[in-house]
Amino acid sequence: MIKPIKLSEANADFFDRVYQVVRLIPKGRATSYGAIAKYLGAKSGSRMVGWAMNAAHSIREIPAQRVVNRNGQLTGKMHFETPTKMEELLQLDGIEVKNDQIVNWKEVFWDPMTELQID
């Protein structure tokens, strides 16, 4: 069982904004920690996005499997229930994975900076 992370109010707000973006990633697409951080105005905040995703794997309505590293590698797979769960979920999304990396990463990549309008 994964222990919940205790968050400060500032971190909780940032994590919530990350989750709002992740919920918008369409099935069949994936994005990177850095792309989300950049969209949220925290260009060097990809590690913080990673922490948010690590805390989200037990929240069913957040498709955490759709967030990977900048090269399409499944670096967060160890935070899922089993070592293969992230890949299985991506395959259910229609995304091909080989050797813990998304195949055709450039075609699958979803960039919130171009896909979403900043309000």
Give residue 88's pLDDT: 97
The pLDDT profile of the chain, 119 residues, written as one tens digit per residue, is: 334 444 455 556 889 999 999 999 999 999 999 999 999 998 889 999 999 999 887 788 999 999 999 999 999 999 999 999 999 999 999 999 999 999 999 999 999 999 987 55
Give residue 7's pLDDT: 44
Among the listed residues 80, 63, 77, the one whose alpha carbon sits nearest the alpha carbon of residue 23: 63
Give residue 118's pLDDT: 57
Placement of tokens 């089993």 in the chain: 82
Give residue 18's pLDDT: 95
Q: How far apart are CA 106 and CA 79, in angstroms?
A: 24
What domains can you pick out in the chain, each with its CATH number?
11-19+27-111 (1.10.10.10)
Question: What global pTM score does this model have?
Answer: 0.86
Given a contact cutoff of 8 angstroms between Cβ atoms, the answer to whether 90 and 66 are in contact is: yes
